[in-house]
Structure 1
Amino acid sequence: MTLPYLTDDCIYYILQHLQNDRSTLFNCLLVNRFWCKSTIPLLYANPFINMIEKNYSIISTIILCFNRTEILRLKNQLGISQINDIDFDEEDYKPLFEYTKHLENYNYFIINSVICKWFVKYCSDLSISHNKICDDIIPIFHQSILRQSRNIKQLDLLLYLFYNENFKNFQVQNFTSNLTKLNSLSLNFHLIGTNYTKINEIEQEFLSNISNISLNLRKLTIKLPRTNRSLFQYVTSNNLINTSTMEKLCTIIQKQNKLKMFKITNCYTLLNNVLLSLEFQKYSLVQIEFINSDFSNVSLKSLNDFYNLESLTFEICKGLFLDQCEVLNLASFKLKGLTFKRNIWNIDVTSLMVKYLGASLQRLFVDNPTIPLINNISMYCLNLICLKIRINFHIDLSVLPFFKNLRSKILNISISYYYSNNINEFFINLANNIPFDIKKISIHLLNSNNFLRFKEFLDNCHNGFEVIYLNHMIELEFLKIVLNYIERSNNSLKILGIRELDKELNDEELKLLNQIKAKGVRIVDFNTFYNVYYI
């Protein structure tokens, strides 16, 4: 009788199903040669972010994949010091697989962190300064990984890397020719200095090659240089980034086939150029984010033609005025998500944009709402599912009565910082003015160690909540308040989110917690589920 066996395709699909279970994949390496060969690409597609916690042995593996030039550079940097378990003099050694060629997710910052932690854990006895590791040794690793990687799909790169001495002879063409599979690109530019005028040849060659080779990006993130000034101070000079660089970035945007997500940070000037370039993607763009950018003298007219735009974010932006927003009255897209965070413009600008873009909104994020803003949300956002409100510094009680008109099904309140002695009054008024249609609520209060604030809310709110998230830790008096609400609401509550579920409870606390669960309430971790309703 012939024993049944799995076809190669079946084995491959089984292994793919296990791609996030690294411990099981390591066991699969030992089955036979085929299983081993099929498992390696999955293990090394994203080895830095999916590592078993505190296991940084991937760095030792990468060193074994160095070529002779890279080994020599590393030896020169280490001097007489050596790394345990690695024989640099064994020149004929070749690893069983080309591990790094399978890398699909290259994130400069994560790789840096892993290398540093590896040195701390395995090379603590080496007399090498942290600065030397960062400036002279880590770039050797980056060069080696970039040289060998042939399957990168997500690339998150700090361009300052190209300014390192180790990259003088780096073959950019060979590297970028391997980026045809790239679907996500994040470019992080570094402020070299306000007097820096020399165009870095490697950086420029890299950008030019990207614009000709990587034409199928779905996500593009550009983080331009930022000054050392305060978060809320801006520069109007264009000296922070080379003009040629900006032109190449615009070309990259224009040449993409179907770009869906775009994010730009620290764009103080030339934002009009970026918007004009984005017009080339008006049929495909779904999500746009503007972070720390200046809209002075910028026309929003081009946004009107982004037919499939679903999500729009403005965070820490400035320079936008009412007359600039009027053109959005003719917008052709139907937004599902709109976010305003810490913007430095008149709140009426936010209110007007909500009026023009609110009809199709399902998710809305606003800061420090005013009465006109809440009124516009109530009148124009009739399909709203989740409203997230963040309050900073000042709590305006006069706004709360207008909450009664909100049409949202989910309310997420975050109080970051406040200078007010009316915080308890705020919770009472909030509770009294929440519409009964809101069945799910999340409240995050910074440094909340006083259960009485949540008592004011639960004692005064309506009885119809099905989900409540409160960033308060488990303690006896707090559990009593929650249990009292459940009994008053006739067991309508289904999910309760709270903090520190791993806390060791005393007998009374455990008894109350079990009574809450017996009422049919599922207890979840607040930190895990805080934003579950705002995606």
Structure 2
Amino acid sequence: MAFLSHELLAMIFEEHADDLSTLHSCMLVNRNWCVVALQYLWAKPFTLLLSSGRRTIDGPSKNLMITFIRCFTDTDINSLMEARLCKRYSKRFPFDYSLYLKEIRFKEIEILTRQCTGYNSFHLYYMRVGITRLAMKYCPNLNTLSLRTENSAYIDQSRFLLSINNLSRVQNLSWYLDLDDNIFSALSRAARNLKSISVKCRRSCYFKLGSRNHGLQKLVRSQRQLKTFTLKHVTVSMRSVFELLESQSNSLESLVLSDIDIDPDDSNIEPIRFHHLTRIYIKNCRILKTGLNPIFEADLPELQQLKFENNYWKHKSDWIPLQDLCLIQNKIVYSGNSSDIIQNLKVHL
């Protein structure tokens, strides 16, 4: 067989990065192929197994969990005990899988661990939390960290606090817990290179700048080049959202608000200029009268799309179908240049 360099193999495997079966077969060709294929196989092992389409994944799920724990041969035994998974051997693996891991999603681990028979719900809970903590604490190349859960399941988020150490490579963060100041303060020290932040509150709360949620403000302000921000399940004013993101006005490109109450805010504050914000998406929100006024008052020179979907307008008279606006199955989408959008909305709202 002709020798292929690591660079050429990487180009080939990149095309099959989401194909578990192909990557596994490539591992068996020779050591050269194995070294490269492992980097893709272990970049997101839980995602690949879940999307593999296998009818039964009980055995593979158990093997994956155990192998994942085994690769941390030098970690604190307390971390392993919390996961309720025992290493069968103490020998080192020929490859350090922890260096390859780039994506970890708590929701996927929830689904996979449910397939593992022989564990009660208590053990499964600690298994999920333990695996996530190991990834957060010991995987230096972690790029995507999602702590979303299924069906609003309860997680004692204080268990993650000690694992938030160095997340310098993390660029995508999704959080579905409480707005805990301690957690967000720890994240602001550990993760400084986030491109995307998604915050979904487990319990309905009122968000106001300068109040109890100062930890989230600290996290946002600590970032260097935030591109996308998503906020879900809170009551908030658009003014507070813009003020929260003001420190990222030179980098922010997309803003998503979903399942929130948008309160009016008549505060007279100098308009905030977002130099690169091109898209605002508002979905499943309850919009009170004048709740969107801060959008019209903000300085948005690059705004290209303002999208509304399945919202409830408290005052029907506030919403008049706009010219050039497409209405399809309760889905409202309006796109255009910045001046057209703002001018039309000022007239009709």
TM bucket, shorter chain = 0.7 to 0.9
Q: Tell me how far apart the structure 2 counterparts of residues 290 and 73 of structure 1 sit (CA, whole Å).
A: 36
Which residue is 1:465 aligned to? none
Q: 1:310 aligned to 2:278? A: yes
Q: Tell me how far apart the structure 1 counterparts of residues 240 and 294 of structure 2 sit (CA, whole Å).
A: 20
Paired residue for 2:134, among 112, 133, 144?
144
Equivalent position amino acid for 2:136 in 1: L
Is residue 108–residue 158 contact of structure 1 (8 Å, CA) maintained in 2? yes
Is residue 320–residue 349 contact of structure 1 (8 Å, CA) maintained in 2? no
Which residue is 2:15 aligned to? 17
Q: 1:390 aligned to 2:340? A: no
Q: 1:281 aligned to 2:220? A: no
Q: Which string of whole-angstrom CA distances, capped at 9 and with x for unpartnered residues, describes residues 385-436 of structure 1?
A: xx352349xxxxxxxxxxxxxx99xxxxxxxxxxxxxxxxxxxxxxxxxxxx
Change (3 A) 1:349 1:107: farther
Equivalent position amino acid for 2:33 in 1: W
Tell me the SS of whatever aligns to 1:189.
coil
Equivalent position amino acid for 2:248 in 1: Q
Change (3 A) 1:91 1:327: closer
Post-superposition shift, 1:6? 3.0
Q: Tell me how far apart the structure 2 counterparts of residues 346 and 331 of structure 1 sit (CA, whole Å).
A: 26
Change (3 A) 1:163 1:189: closer
Post-superposition shift, 1:275? 2.1
Post-superposition shift, 1:337? 4.2
Change (3 A) 1:345 1:45: same
Which residue is 1:226 aligned to? 203
Which residue is 1:349 aligned to? 318
Tell me the SS of whatever aligns to 1:284.
coil
Percent identity reads 18
Equivalent position amino acid for 2:109 in 1: I
Find the structure with the greater CA-based Rg. Answer: 1
Equivalent position amino acid for 2:177 in 1: F
Paired residue for 1:65, among 68, 71, 75?
71
Unaligned residue ranges in structure 2 (runs of 5+): 336-349
Unaligned residue ranges in structure 1 (runs of 5+): 79-87, 192-202, 228-234, 352-372, 382-386, 393-406, 409-535
Which residue is 1:512 aligned to? none
Which residue is 2:323 aligned to? 377
RMSD: 3.6
Which residue is 2:305 aligned to? 336
Equivalent position amino acid for 2:39 in 1: P
Count of paired positions: 315
Q: Which string of whole-angstrom CA distances, capped at 9 and with x for unpartnered residues, describes residues 477-522 of structure 1?
A: xxxxxxxxxxxxxxxxxxxxxxxxxxxxxxxxxxxxxxxxxxxxxx
Listed as ranges, the matches of 1:508-519 within 5 Å are: none
Give the alignment's TM-score, normalised by structure 1.
Answer: 0.51
Equivalent position amino acid for 1:215 in 2: R
Tell me the SS of whatever aligns to 1:217.
coil
Equivalent position amino acid for 1:184 in 2: N
Post-superposition shift, 1:263? 0.8
Equivalent position amino acid for 1:309 in 2: L
Equivalent position amino acid for 1:225 in 2: R
Give the alignment's TM-score, normalised by structure 2.
Answer: 0.75
Is residue 184–residue 218 contact of structure 2 (8 Å, CA) maintained in 1? no
Which residue is 1:494 aligned to? none
Q: Which string of whole-angstrom CA distances, capped at 9 and with x for unpartnered residues, describes residues 343-365 of structure 1?
A: 242234343xxxxxxxxxxxxxx
Listed as ranges, the matches of 1:20-59 within 5 Å are: 20-51=18-49, 52-54=52-54, 55=57, 56=61, 57-59=63-65
Listed as ranges, the matches of 1:493-508 within 5 Å are: none
Q: Which string of whole-angstrom CA distances, capped at 9 and with x for unpartnered residues, describes residues 453-488 of structure 1?
A: xxxxxxxxxxxxxxxxxxxxxxxxxxxxxxxxxxxx
Q: Which string of whole-angstrom CA distances, capped at 9 and with x for unpartnered residues, describes residues 210-264 of structure 1?
A: 213422222111112334xxxxxxx6698xxx955x1121122123222121110
Is residue 106–residue 155 contact of structure 1 (8 Å, CA) maintained in 2? yes
Tell me the SS of whatever aligns to 1:377.
coil
Greater relative CO (CA pairs within 8 A, separation 6+): 2
Q: Tell me how far apart the structure 2 counterparts of residues 72 and 212 of structure 1 sit (CA, whole Å).
A: 27
Change (3 A) 1:320 1:247: same
Change (3 A) 1:213 1:270: farther
Which residue is 2:184 aligned to? 207
Which residue is 2:345 aligned to? none
Is residue 262–residue 288 contact of structure 2 (8 Å, CA) maintained in 1? yes
Q: Tell me how far apart the structure 2 counterparts of residues 391 and 327 of structure 1 sit (CA, whole Å).
A: 22
Q: Tell me how far apart the structure 1 counterparts of residues 87 and 256 of structure 2 sit (CA, whole Å).
A: 50
Q: Tell me how far apart the structure 1 counterparts of residues 292 and 29 of structure 2 sit (CA, whole Å).
A: 64
Which residue is 2:338 aligned to? none
Change (3 A) 1:350 1:340: farther
